[in-house]
Amino acid sequence: MTEFFPEVKKVKYEGPKSKNPLAFKHYNPKEKVLGKTMADHLRFAVCYWHSFKGLGADQFGANTILRSYNVASDPMQKAEQTMQAAFEFFGKLGVNYWCFHDRDIAPEADNLAETNKRLDQIVKLAKKLQKDTGIKCLWGTTNAFSHPRFMAGAGTNPNPHVFAYAASQIKKAMEITKELGGEGYVFWGGREGYDTLLNTDLGRELDHMALLLHLAVDHKKKIGFKGQLYIEPKPKEPTKHQYDFDAGNCFAFLQKYDLVPHFKMNIEANHATLAGHTFHHELAFSAANGILGSVDANRGDLLLGWDTDQFPTDLYDTVLAMYIILKSGGFTTGGLNFDAHVRRQSIDNVDLFYAHVGAMDAFARGLKIASKMLKDKVLDKVIQKRYAGWDTPLGKQIESGKMDFVKLEKYILEKGEPKLQSGRQELLENILNEYI
């Protein structure tokens, strides 16, 4: 069989002393942390779109990256070679999962029926490769944002004909995700948002978006797809205002439209920072509300205002992310999907490996450090002390709803000023540094 990434053999764990840039220094898949293997904690996935379809193009210039799987003139031959290359890459890297959009794996044909036939052809190959390698599908999704028909949105399009197209596409994408044994299905709101309110019926569009999600839930039941549904928040880009702004906004939307039982969040680090939050915040908010599902592991650049989708290398980010994930019980259906692409100048095959190896090691370190912090209960102890007042009679009475404004006022008139306590932020930051 053709080898598409001949310069790299299997990436192995060699330990922290290794100087081999193509070896893991920290990610040792079988090593146990808190009773579970690192592979089972981290559930790494490679994304198909950036890793195999993104070839360095940006708004200012064409592709810079040449890949040997991308040369055939026949579009389906190219699609099949790309799929083969992808599985070679997953295997050499040693990840257990992959994620895809329908349109990543097979290009659109002239009509939906032909497009779906192409999908069936490629899914057959993907299924065989999954079987041969044991690599699984973490989640599938629909690209209902690239084609011009979706320029004004998919589910929120002013034209119901486009809504119908989006629904048909989601139907098929869910079916093939099920066929591939996908453990989840993501809704990222592509162009579900607006560029100007002057031409937009915001309330009606939100109703339509909810309707589309309800239809997806119904179809999921109908076909017996057991995967978890996720919404992936993002505040802007491509539209000026995306409806799924952040986890808080999505949670309110899910509650209003009775969708909470069916959806969890797929939190992307770069989208969190675009929304003016930290990655840590979006994870913590989701965990606190029982909707933390999966993660798109990448990073942005705080000096740039857009979705740079860089590989995650910041240990503060990975430690704090893993801290929240572990504390919330760890991934079940979700995982860490590298929704990231190499920079335009990183044109060699080996750069794609360096990027993933570094990111996996960064999360492996995050996992190990976070597990130590959890074992030592460093933050737990401080937080418990900080909230200890809530375990006193006053706190308990308020929490159990036994107090009203009159009683609370009486308490203050009797007891006077509360005693102030330090938040200890600097100390905690120093402690975090010690762990890192």
Considering only residues 326 to 355 of the shown chain, the ones binding Ca ion according to CB under 5 A are 339
On whether the CB atoms of residues 340 and 312 are closer than 8 A, the answer is yes
On whether the CB atoms of residues 174 and 220 are closer than 8 A, the answer is yes
CA within 13 Å, CB half, 212:
29
Please, which residue, 115 or 141, has the CB nearer to ligand XLS? 141
Which partner from the list Ca ion, ligand XLS, none does 186 bind, CB cut-off 5 to 8 Å by kind?
Answer: ligand XLS
Tokens of 85: 């290359």
Please, which residue, 307 or 361, has the CB nearer to ligand XLS? 307
Please, which residue, 186 or 209, has the CB nearer to ligand XLS? 186
By C-alpha distance, which of 314, 311, 373 is closest to 336? 311
- Residue 152 CB, nearest distance to ligand XLS (Å)? 18
Which partner from the list ligand XLS, Ca ion, none does 118 bind, CB cut-off 5 to 8 Å by kind?
Answer: none
Q: Using the rule CB under 5 A, which residue among 307, 336, 362, 363 binds Ca ion? A: 307
Which partner from the list ligand XLS, Ca ion, none does 175 bind, CB cut-off 5 to 8 Å by kind?
Answer: none
Longest dimension (CA), the chain: 84
By C-alpha distance, which of 13, 90, 101 is closest to 45? 90
Please, which residue, 26 or 103, has the CB nearer to ligand XLS? 103
- Residue 230 CB, nearest distance to Ca ion (Å)? 10
On whether the CB atoms of residues 228 and 293 are closer than 8 A, the answer is yes
Which partner from the list Ca ion, ligand XLS, none does 191 bind, CB cut-off 5 to 8 Å by kind?
Answer: none
What are the b/e assignments for 153-180, b being 16+ CB within 10 Å?
A: bbbbbeeeebbebbbebbbbbbbbbbbb
- Residue 187 CB, nearest distance to Ca ion (Å)? 11
296 in contact with Ca ion (CB under 5 A):
yes
- Summarize as ranges the residues that interact with ligand XLS (CB under 6 A): 101, 141, 186, 188, 232, 234, 268, 296, 307, 339
**Positive/negative CA dihedral, 323, 187, 314, 24:** positive
Please, which residue, 91 or 107, has the CB nearer to ligand XLS? 107
268 in contact with Ca ion (CB under 5 A):
yes
- Tell me which residues are annotated as active site: 101, 104
- The residue at minimum Cβ distance from ligand XLS is 188
In the chain, DSSP finds a helix count (H) and a strand count (E) of 16, 14
- Residue 271 CB, nearest distance to Ca ion (Å)? 6
Which partner from the list ligand XLS, Ca ion, none does 294 bind, CB cut-off 5 to 8 Å by kind?
Answer: none
Phi, psi of 265 (to 5 degrees): -95, 140
Helix 349-376 crosses helix 315-327 at what angle (to 10 degrees)? 50
Q: What does the binding site for Ca ion look like in residue numbers (CB under 5 A)?
A: 268, 270, 296, 307, 309, 339
